[in-house]
A and B are shown apart, each in its own frame.
Chain A
Amino acid sequence: SQQGEEDPQALSIQEGENATMNCSYKTSINNLQWYRQNSGRGLVHLILIRSNEREKHSGRLRVTLDTSKKSSSLLITASRAADTASYFCATERAGGGNKLTFGTGTQLKVEL
């Protein structure tokens, strides 16, 4: 079953603005990962944050994790048109055999 819920489902912003996406989940996790998918293509791994970490940065990406609230956020700063894609969070459940459960995704559109 799908345990991740993401909001918003769709987000449209202007180039240069920041984009924030949120993910909530239901069970205990080993880690939470964020992926990007361009239309009709495969997934690209963006960043992984472990359950004992609270914040992680990678380039223009900032991910936070609040295990008490079972939620995570992905912030993309200074967005570019090329950031237009769908973004998914995925959780590796504790004791779940390394399987990933994907969230419902956020479709981001960055306009010039």
Chain B
Amino acid sequence: GAVVSQHPSRVICKSGTSVKIECRSLDFQATTMFWYRQFPKKSLMLMATSNEGSKATYEQGVEKDKFLINHASLTLSTLTVTSAHPEDSSFYICSAKSHPNPYNEQFFGPGTRLTVL
């Protein structure tokens, strides 16, 4: 149980285009989803927290108009990188939490590698 999927696993796009990444909880309802960004050989940096049915909360320094997050259902959150540029190239990982969650455990997706040319 507790499987989280991401789609696509890899995406290459041209500079200036927008890219949508999906995060799905496959066998549980995720009241909260988190989006992280990871540069090569670096740690994960939290970008935003997404609660179903409400606006996402962004971490300091993350542009909300650049990284649009939609958590429209209890099993799906999407991250759209708008007007992507080469510096947006990164590994994007989502995680999901259910409620109740006595161990406060987050379940991570396999990640999406974005390359902007």
- Number of A residues, CB within 8 Å of B: 26
Tell me the minimal C-beta distance from B100 to chain A in angstroms: 12
20 contacts between A and B (CB under 8 A): A2-B45, A33-B105, A35-B108, A41-B110, A42-B6, A42-B93, A42-B109, A42-B111, A43-B44, A44-B108, A45-B105, A45-B107, A48-B103, A48-B105, A90-B44, A99-B34, A100-B106, A101-B46, A103-B43, A104-B43
Chain A neighbourhood of B107, CB < 8 A = 45
Chain A neighbourhood of B111, CB < 8 A = 40-42
- Number of B residues, CB within 8 Å of A: 25
Summarize A's interface: helix, strand, loop or mixed: strand
A2 and B91 CA atoms in complex are apart in Å by 17
A18 interface residue per 8 A CB criterion: no
